[in-house]
């Protein structure tokens, strides 16, 4: 019996227990441990690991750790590795508590080493993963497949493809690891993250064993590179398609501005009997946002609510819905979603602020920004794009300037080229064109198309062909195919009466083969059916009725003071001809059909592919008053809400004294945020002060 126990005890304990004083040395010739005792300990270890696995907070884990120490298991790699992994998962800084626990173990096994390496691979500093790997090898411990997945994760995180290649070589050198499925998958992931699609594809092609994860990784990579054809081809070849793979395709189409195909794919996915989760929903919501039609918006919202991932269930779905309803023209619906959300984060706030800004509700946008600052959510760069845009559309130049000047100091968000574009837009629209130009020319980074485009747009509004020429020259370099830039410059010349320049530019456009996009508008008629109208075209089945209705409408509006704004036509033609052209702009046709086909009291929603012209804008204003209808026009820039003879983009309707009804001023906001930042900084310093700095970075794999 004794002999049997002796035999079993040696078999039952392979490399689990390290040899050193302080922990039982399992050498059957020197120390005899009864089998029952070993079994008890093994059971205890199993139990501790499972308790750790179920722990959800630091307090619970610390209790288990205390128990580990009481039972004398601080050298047991199996348990300690789990402890380290759980701590890292809970975002406890790896180089503090977990590292300390690791250092207490005299002989770490590969799994314990890997737990720590993985911790750094998730949290950073990523180079510490490599340092640890090298130390592990020097101390004679061989890696396991987990080690490589962790290392590839680290390389992917810092986009270090050279290091990734070295580790790739090691997987082949050490043997056996290159053919491991998970190692292969993380390797593909690393190459794709670093932007080496070909290398990822090569690993994929050479893999002996692939699973749906390997395929999906590549599908996503192709989708992100804009190559939906290759993505689709892979998807067709994929033997067993799961929900994630389907979602990758739906999202891919949505991200590549192909919303109709995204919807088609989603329908196919449902036909295939696939489940829908929050990630799928986000993809499809984004597609509906691009379509801008309420019919689809309501349809997808129903699906979201039925599947249990509605705005109250998921903060991500909620934020996507806010964005979708804003883009579909239903800012009220977006508000309702926002108010009904249980949890809100920076995405929810930013989407709502941008929604308000887009719809000309600067007041609401600023108020929401203020409310956000009272919560624990901190603004990010997108939030500032929203807030600055709101200031721009409300003509709040002084407030905008102060926010921009204090972004970095008070909020910790450094201004990017996009924020400079907002400022150039703001100054430009306010008529301060010289200052806007100076800002564009002196900004610390290379100005992007947005910056010069904003300036060019402002030059058209304020009829300044000289500065327009400068902005346009930059734009012609940055966006050689951007037809809109040529049109804007053309319009600016026309407004200034420089017809020679107009014809010179038109000739240049012809030479370059650039064609003006025909103006096109869509209007939602009954039951959400969408009707399309092109400028000057009378192809709609009811076009005779529409033409008559439009003429009647024009007469009524003229009686109320509407006069065609002839300068909106940039052709050197007779006034009569100009009037005729203006009257056939697509949005006017859409409006006439909207009035014919919807009931009194219904809001008329029109979408347009290019910017609404000044004349149509005045026409809509007047129509909203005379016909007593709410009219919403979404052009390629923003939303216009016409109500009782005014538009939401009319600056004079917004507050402009730096103070709103809440009774706060901008300096108060800045002060408030500064105190938050200081407090955060203090907390951070006090935590970091206790933690040892990790080793130097920059070591390569040896």
Window 192-251: residues binding DNA (CB under 7 A)? 211-213, 216-217, 220, 224, 242-245, 247-248, 251
418 contacts DNA (rule: CB under 7 A)? yes
Any idea what the Cα angle at residue 376 is, between residues 372 and 382, rounded to 5°?
A: 50
* Per-residue binding letters, 371-400, with DNA (x by CB under 7 A): ---------xxxx-x---x-----------
Q: Which range binds DNA by CB under 7 A, 57-65, 414-422, 506-514, 521-529?
A: 414-422
Instruction: Give helix 346-358 / helix 315-327 axis angle, nearest 10°.
Output: 10
Distance of alpha carbon 611 from alpha carbon 622, whole angstroms:
19
76 contacts DNA (rule: CB under 7 A)? no
479 contacts DNA (rule: CB under 7 A)? yes
475 contacts DNA (rule: CB under 7 A)? yes
75 contacts DNA (rule: CB under 7 A)? no
128 contacts DNA (rule: CB under 7 A)? no
Contacting DNA (CB under 7 A), which of 453, 465, 519, 594? 453
Which residues face 633 on adjacent strands? 606, 640
Show the tokens assigned to 386. 């929203």
181 contacts DNA (rule: CB under 7 A)? yes
Contacting DNA (CB under 7 A), which of 64, 87, 183, 669? 183
454 contacts DNA (rule: CB under 7 A)? yes
In the complex, least distance from residue 29 CB atom to DNA, rounded to whole angstroms:
36
Distance of alpha carbon 428 from alpha carbon 616, whole angstroms:
23
Contacting DNA (CB under 7 A), which of 318, 329, 395, 519? 318
CA distances in angstroms from 577 to 564, 569, 572, 615, listed in the order given = 12, 10, 10, 15
In the complex, least distance from residue 664 CB atom to DNA, rounded to whole angstroms:
23
What are the phi and psi torsion angles at 530 (to 5°)? Answer: -105, 130
450 contacts DNA (rule: CB under 7 A)? yes
Smallest Cα–Cα separation from 38: which of 47, 48, 26?
26
- The footprint of DNA on residues 559-578 (CB under 7 A) is none
Segment (H or E) for 643? strand 639-643
Contacting DNA (CB under 7 A), which of 55, 189, 399, 625? 189
- The footprint of DNA on residues 149-178 (CB under 7 A) is 149, 153
Q: What is the dihedral of CA 617, 618, 624, 630, to 10 degrees?
A: 20
Show the tokens assigned to 240. 């067993």
Q: Radius of gyration (Cα) for the chain, nearest Å?
A: 32
Q: Are 420 and 389 contacting, i.e. CB atoms less than 8 angstroms apart?
A: no
- The footprint of DNA on residues 612-651 (CB under 7 A) is 637-638
Distance of alpha carbon 22 from alpha carbon 539, whole angstroms:
91
Show the tokens assigned to 60. 């619970």
- The footprint of DNA on residues 282-311 (CB under 7 A) is 282-283, 286
Length of the chain: 702
Q: Which range binds DNA by CB under 7 A, 5-13, 66-74, 420-428, 559-567?
A: 420-428
Closest to DNA by CB, 282 vs 557, is 282
492 contacts DNA (rule: CB under 7 A)? no
In the complex, least distance from residue 355 CB atom to DNA, rounded to whole angstroms:
9
Q: What is the DSSP string of 526-588?
A: GGG-EEEEETT---STTHHHHHHHHHHHHHHHHHTT----GGG--S---HHHHHHHHHT-HHH
413 contacts DNA (rule: CB under 7 A)? no
Contacting DNA (CB under 7 A), which of 425, 524, 587, 615? 425
Distance of alpha carbon 364 from alpha carbon 354, whole angstroms:
10
Closest to DNA by CB, 125 vs 453, is 453
In the complex, least distance from residue 471 CB atom to DNA, rounded to whole angstroms:
8
467 contacts DNA (rule: CB under 7 A)? no
Closest to DNA by CB, 265 vs 347, is 347
In the complex, least distance from residue 292 CB atom to DNA, rounded to whole angstroms:
12
Closest to DNA by CB, 324 vs 592, is 324
Q: What is the dihedral of CA 72, 77, 79, 83, to 10 degrees?
A: 110
Closest to DNA by CB, 273 vs 698, is 273
Q: Are 632 and 329 contacting, i.e. CB atoms less than 8 angstroms apart?
A: yes
Contacting DNA (CB under 7 A), which of 76, 101, 234, 421? 421
What are the phi and psi torsion angles at 646 (to 5°)? Answer: -135, 160
Segment (H or E) for 165? helix 161-174
Contacting DNA (CB under 7 A), which of 102, 133, 146, 356? 146
Contacting DNA (CB under 7 A), which of 96, 307, 312, 345? 345
Distance of alpha carbon 422 from alpha carbon 431, whole angstroms:
14
Beta strands at 604-608 and 631-634: parallel, antiparallel or unpaired: parallel
Distance of alpha carbon 58 from alpha carbon 388, whole angstroms:
41
Closest to DNA by CB, 148 vs 369, is 148
């Amino acid at each position: 019996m004794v002999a049997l126990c002796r035999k079993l005890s040696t078999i039952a304990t392979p490399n689990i227990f390290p040899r050193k004083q302080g922990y039982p040395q399992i050498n059957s010739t020197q120390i005899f441990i009864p089998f029952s005792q070993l079994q008890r300990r093994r059971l205890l270890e199993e139990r501790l690991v499972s308790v750790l696995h179920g722990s959800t907070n630091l307090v619970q884990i610390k209790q288990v750790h205390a128990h580990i120490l009481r039972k004398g298991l601080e050298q047991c790699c199996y348990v300690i590795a789990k402890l380290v992994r759980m701590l890292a998962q809970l975002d406890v800084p790896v180089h503090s508590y977990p590292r300390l626990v690791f250092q207490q173990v005299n002989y770490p096994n590969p799994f314990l080493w890997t737990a720590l390496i993985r911790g750094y691979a998730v949290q950073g500093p990523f180079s510490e993963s490599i340092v640890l790997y090298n130390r592990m090898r020097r101390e004679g411990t061989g890696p396991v497949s987990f080690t490589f997945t962790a290392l590839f994760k680290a390389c992917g995180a810092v986009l270090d493809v050279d290091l990734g290649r070295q580790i790739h070589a090691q997987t082949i050198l050490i043997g056996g690891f290159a053919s491991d499925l998970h190692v292969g998958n993380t390797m593909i992931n690393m190459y794709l993250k670093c932007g080496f699609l070909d290398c990822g594809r090569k690993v994929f092609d050479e893999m002996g064993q692939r699973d749906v994860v390997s395929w999906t990784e590549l599908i996503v990579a192709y989708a992100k590179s804009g190559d939906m054809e290759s993505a689709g081809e892979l998807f067709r070849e994929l033997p067993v398609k799961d929900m994630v793979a389907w979602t990758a395709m739906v999202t891919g189409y949505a991200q590549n501005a192909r919303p109709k195909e995204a919807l088609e794919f989603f329908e196919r996915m449902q036909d295939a009997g696939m489940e829908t989760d929050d990630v799928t929903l986000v993809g499809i919501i984004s597609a509906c946002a691009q379509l801008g039609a309420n019919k689809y918006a309501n349809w997808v919202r129903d699906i979201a609510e039925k599947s249990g991932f509605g705005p109250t269930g998921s903060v991500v779905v909620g934020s996507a819905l806010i964005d979708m309803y804003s883009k579909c023209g239903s800012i009220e619906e977006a508000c309702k979603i926002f108010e009904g959300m249980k949890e809100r984060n920076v995405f929810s706030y930013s989407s709502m602020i941008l929604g308000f800004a887009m719809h000309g509700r600067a007041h609401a946008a600023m108020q929401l920004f203020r409310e956000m600052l009272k919560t624990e959510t901190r603004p990010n760069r997108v939030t500032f794009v929203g807030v600055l845009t709101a200031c721009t559309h409300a003509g709040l130049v002084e407030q905008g300037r102060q926010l921009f000047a204090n972004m970095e100091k008070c909020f910790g968000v450094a201004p990017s080229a996009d924020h400079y574009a907002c400022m150039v837009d703001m100054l430009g629209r306010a008529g301060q064109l010289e200052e806007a130009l100076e800002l564009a020319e002196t900004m610390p980074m290379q100005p992007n198309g947005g910056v010069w485009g904003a300036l060019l747009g402002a030059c058209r509004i304020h009829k300044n062909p000289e500065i327009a020429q400068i902005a346009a020259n930059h734009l012609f370099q940055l966006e050689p195919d951007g037809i809109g830039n040529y049109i804007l410059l053309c319009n600016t010349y026309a407004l200034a009466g420089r017809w020679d320049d107009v014809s010179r530019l038109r000739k240049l456009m012809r030479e370059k083969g650039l064609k003006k996009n025909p103006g096109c508008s869509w209007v939602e008629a009954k039951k959400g059916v969408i009707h399309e109208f092109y400028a000057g075209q009378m192809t709609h089945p009811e076009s005779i009725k529409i033409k008559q209705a439009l003429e009647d409408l024009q007469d009524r509006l003229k009686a109320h003071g509407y006069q065609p704004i002839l300068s909106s036509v940039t052709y050197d033609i007779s006034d009569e001809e100009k009037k005729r052209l203006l009257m056939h702009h697509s949005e006017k046709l859409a409006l006439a059909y909207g009035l014919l086909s919807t009931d009194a009291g219904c809001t008329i929603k029109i979408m347009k592919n290019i910017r609404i012209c000044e004349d149509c804008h005045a026409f809509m204003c007047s129509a909203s008053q005379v016909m007593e209808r709410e009219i919403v026009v979404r052009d390629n820039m923003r939303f216009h809400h016409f109500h009782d003879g005014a538009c939401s983009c009319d600056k004079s309707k917004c507050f402009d004294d730096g103070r709103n009804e809440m009774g706060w001023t901008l300096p108060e906001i800045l002060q408030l945020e500064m105190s938050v930042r200081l407090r955060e900084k203090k907390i951070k310093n006090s935590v970091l002060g206790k933690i040892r700095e990790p080793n130097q970075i920059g070591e390569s794999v040896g």
